[in-house]
Each structure stands twice: as structure tokens, then as C-alpha cells.
């Protein structure tokens, strides 16, 4: 992948700094500038991915780095959507730095230019898009959960300070968390099922690829993905049935996303034998 990835990276970096200053100083113009920078970055990013799609004839999913880049773009768009629907900018300071960190990966390690022959299947596109979208939702849920815990602690400790003055209400944060986790869970489920169908189909096909043989529960990437699914399923169940809302749900989303990140970056780059495209 060419060095164009540095364009959205710089925009995200500028946005991250602006969001941080906006959060501390609470200046509305700075907040608008931050949103503008982020929207600019996300637009440029979408455009770049679009161009690559045109060039390659398919969505550029060839390899972990490209997948991360698309994930970053999706997360930026998902965050911008929440910002617009909730008119709440305080969360940017937690999300945008994550965009910067993750976008740095494809810039540093561009990864494969061409995708393997075995991936030439419509199932593959659905599988990867669904999972990336799920991960973006989980990232949002995690950040919202962290802010929930920060605010919760201030209110419980009866020391109303920094976050009390800057964050939306606990109720709003909790509802946002639920929405993000639900959307993420649906896409995760779809992604995993489609992946399984595709693996079965590909094995029956003509192409012999050692990675296909590795696609089983013994592979760390697949195994950890299923753990993720279990964690988020439990979060939704516990919230609905036992009444684990608020802080407990927030912690579960944080744990879930930590596993997602683990699966996405170290396992995706180094450990998996089935998904090392």
C-alpha cells in the first residue's frame, strides 16, 4: 500500500490534538475545528480506499495492514456519526488517539500489495467488512465505557471535577454503550458465520492453500474471535437479564475490545496461521 496513508494519519493527528485541547479548555470553536479535521481525514481516507478499490477491482483487504486502515476509516466515520447524532464532542479525545495509533501501523508496515488468489470470493468481502465494522463499534463501546467509569467514579466519590464538567450524563453514556455493543455484536455474528461458510466452500474448491488447512478452532485468530463473541454475548445477556448495566457493562466492553485489539494486531501480524494474508 502506497504512502498515501500518511495523509489521513496527519489529519487524525491534528484532530486528536484539537480534541484534547478542546476537552481541556472547552472552547467551542476548537471543538468545531477538531471535528472538521477529523471529517477531512475520514473523507480523504474514504477517497483513498475508494481509489484503491477502483484500482484493484475489489475492496483492498489484502492483508492485516489494509484491514486496519479500513477499520480506522470505519471507526472515524462511526464516531463522526455518534458525534452528529448526540451533539457530544467530549468522546473525541478518547477515540481519535486510537485512530492515530492504529493508522500508524499501515503507514509503517504497508503489507501485501496483491491479495492471494484464494480470497477471490464474494464471501470474503462480506466476512471482512462485517468484522471490521463490528470491531469499529466495539472500539466505540470501549471508549464510551471508559468515559462512563471515569464519570461514575467522580459521582460516587462525591468529588465532581474534570469529567463531571465535560462528559454527558451516565444515562446517555450507558445508552450509547448498549447501542454500540448491539450493533457490533450483530456484525460480529454475521462475520463469523460468513467466515465459516466461506472456509468450508474454499476447502472444497480447487485452490490448495496451506492457510485453508489451518482454519480451525485451534488457530489463535479464530479461537480468540469466538472468545470475543462470547464476551459480548454475555454483556448483552447480563445487561438484559441480571441487570448488569452501567459500570459492569462498561468494564465488559473494555475487556471485549482489549481482546479484539489483541486479535487484530499481535495475533493478526505474528501468530495466526490461517489469516496471515
Contacts of 79 (CB under 8 A, 6+ apart): 38, 91, 92, 95, 96, 140
Q: Is 245 in the site for other proteins (CB under 8 A)?
A: yes
Report in angstroms how near the CB of residue 25 gets to other proteins at its nearest: 10
What single-letter DSSP state applies at residue 271? I
Element (H, E) at 42: helix 28-56
**Matching residue, cell 484500482:** 55
Distance (Å, whole) CA 152 – CA 94: 16
**Matching residue, cell 495492514:** 65
Nearer to other proteins by Cβ, of 159 and 216: the residue is: 159
All 3 cell numbers of residue 263?
A: 486479535
DSSP codes of every residue in 188-249: HHHHHHHHHHHHHHHHHSS---HHHHT-STTSHHHHHHHHHHHHHHHHHHIIIII---HHHH
Report in angstroms how near the CB of residue 158 gets to other proteins at its nearest: 5
Contact 187, 134 (CB under 8 A): yes
Among the listed residues 58, 203, 248, 273, the single contact to other proteins using CB under 8 A? 248
Contact 1, 113 (CB under 8 A): yes
Among the listed residues 8, 60, 168, 256, the single contact to other proteins using CB under 8 A? 168
Region 97-156 residues binding other proteins, contact defined as CB under 8 A:
151, 155-156
Nearer to other proteins by Cβ, of 63 and 246: the residue is: 246
Which range of residues in 59-67, 102-110, 160-168, 252-260 is near other proteins by CB under 8 A? 160-168
Region 170-199 residues binding other proteins, contact defined as CB under 8 A:
170-172
Nearer to other proteins by Cβ, of 114 and 158: the residue is: 158
DSSP codes of every residue in 72-93: HHHHHHHHHHHHHHHT--TTHH
Nearer to other proteins by Cβ, of 30 and 192: the residue is: 30
Among 145, 136, 142, which residue's Cα sits nearest to residue 167? Answer: 145
Element (H, E) at 259: helix 246-262
Region 12-71 residues binding other proteins, contact defined as CB under 8 A:
26-28
Q: Is 166 in the site for other proteins (CB under 8 A)?
A: no
Which range of residues in 74-82, 109-117, 189-197, 244-252 is near other proteins by CB under 8 A? 244-252
Report in angstroms how near the CB of residue 149 gets to other proteins at its nearest: 12
Report in angstroms how near the CB of residue 23 gets to other proteins at its nearest: 14
Report in angstroms how near the CB of residue 155 gets to other proteins at its nearest: 6
Nearer to other proteins by Cβ, of 114 and 156: the residue is: 156
Which range of residues in 5-13, 15-23, 168-176, 266-274 is near other proteins by CB under 8 A? 168-176
Footprint on this chain of other proteins (rule: CB under 8 A):
26-28, 151, 155-156, 158, 160, 164-165, 168-172, 242-248
Amino acid at each position: 500500500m502506497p504512502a498515501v496513508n500518511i495523509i489521513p494519519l496527519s489529519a487524525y493527528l491534528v484532530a486528536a490534538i484539537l480534541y484534547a485541547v478542546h476537552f481541556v479548555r472547552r472552547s467551542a470553536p476548537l471543538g468545531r475545528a477538531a471535528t472538521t479535521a477529523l471529517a477531512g481525514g475520514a473523507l480523504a481516507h474514504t477517497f483513498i480506499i475508494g481509489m484503491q478499490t477502483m484500482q484493484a477491482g475489489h475492496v483492498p483487504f489484502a492483508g492485516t495492514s489494509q484491514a486496519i486502515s479500513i477499520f480506522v476509516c470505519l471507526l472515524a466515520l462511526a464516531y463522526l456519526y455518534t458525534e452528529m447524532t448526540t451533539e457530544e464532542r467530549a468522546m473525541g479525545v478518547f477515540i481519535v488517539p486510537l485512530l492515530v495509533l492504529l493508522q500508524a501501523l499501515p503507514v509503517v508496515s504497508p503489507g501485501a500489495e496483491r491479495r492471494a488468489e484464494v480470497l477471490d470470493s464474494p464471501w470474503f468481502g462480506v466476512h471482512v467488512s462485517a468484522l471490521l465494522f463490528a470491531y469499529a463499534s466495539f472500539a466505540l463501546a470501549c471508549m464510551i465505557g471508559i468515559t462512563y467509569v471515569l464519570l461514575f467514579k467522580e459521582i460516587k466519590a462525591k468529588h465532581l471535577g474534570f469529567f463531571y464538567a465535560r462528559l454527558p450524563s451516565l444515562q446517555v453514556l450507558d445508552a450509547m454503550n448498549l447501542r454500540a455493543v448491539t450493533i457490533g455484536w450483530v456484525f460480529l455474528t454475521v462475520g463469523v458465520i460468513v467466515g465459516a461458510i466461506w472456509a468450508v466452500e474454499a476447502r472444497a474448491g480447487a485452490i490448495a492453500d496451506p492457510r485453508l488447512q489451518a482454519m480451525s478452532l485451534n488457530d489463535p485468530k479464530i479461537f480468540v474471535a469466538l472468545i470475543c463473541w462470547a464476551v459480548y454475548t454475555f454483556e448483552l445477556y447480563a445487561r438484559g437479564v441480571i441487570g448488569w448495566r452501567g459500570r459492569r457493562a462498561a468494564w465488559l466492553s473494555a475487556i471485549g475490545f482489549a481482546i479484539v485489539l489483541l486479535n487484530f494486531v499481535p495475533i493478526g501480524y505474528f501468530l495466526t496461521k490461517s489469516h496471515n494474508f
